[in-house]
Amino acid sequence: MKPFALARVLQLAERRSETLARTVKLAHGVWLRARGHQVRLLALRDAHIGELASELRAGVSAAQLQQTSRLQRAQAAKMAAAQASIDNAHRAWQARLAEWMEVEQKVKALRLLEARHRAHAAVQQRRIEQRQHDELVELIHGRAGRGVR
């Protein structure tokens, strides 16, 4: 049986797919961690807003209000950075996912070609075996026919 001509290409594509699958999982983890960071920042912001509300009810000085305002601006900047981090991580994850899906389609196509190759080789092998069997039967019947005469 003739070996599958693209066996090495299939093997390399499968390795590439496995490597890309790992990078997809890694990128997804980065995205999830970025989202978790944002959730923690939101919780801190909400806690800070609660504290600020009770302080404002009691009354605060102008200096305290300026400090609180600076803290809120810093928190807003952290939130914007967290959102940018989430967006970047999501884009990276989606890019890796698209790349993996493309390679996985190539792997599937190569596996299909390999299966067709094997099926074709099996048909050829059955034909060879049938031909050999027919020749053997012909030889046996030919000898038996000569021996009877």
Using the predicted structure, report yes or no on whether residue 39 has a pLDDT greater than 80.
yes
Residue with more model confidence, 143 or 36: 36
CB–CB of 85/35 below 8 Å? no
Find the mean pLDDT for residues 122-135: 95
Domain annotation covers residue 54: yes
Q: Is 1 part of any domain? A: no
* Domain span including residue 50: 19-148
Region 91-102 average pLDDT: 97
pLDDT at residue number 90:
96
Q: Is residue 3 part of a domain?
A: no
Number of structural domains (the chain) is: 1
Specify whether the CB–CB gap between 128 and 21 falls below 8 A. Answer: no
Model confidence at 147, pLDDT cuts 50, 70, 90, reads low
pLDDT tens track for 55-70: 777 887 878 878 888 9
Whether residue 4 lies inside any domain: the answer is no
> Cβ(118)–Cβ(2) under 8 Å?
no
Three-state DSSP class for residue 142: helix
Look at residue 144 and tell me whether its pLDDT is greater than 80: no
Kindly indicate the confidence band of residue 145, based on its pLDDT and cuts at 50, 70 and 90.
Answer: low
The answer to the question of residue 93 being in a domain is yes
| pLDDT of residue 149 exceeding 70 | no
**11 assigned to some structural domain:** no
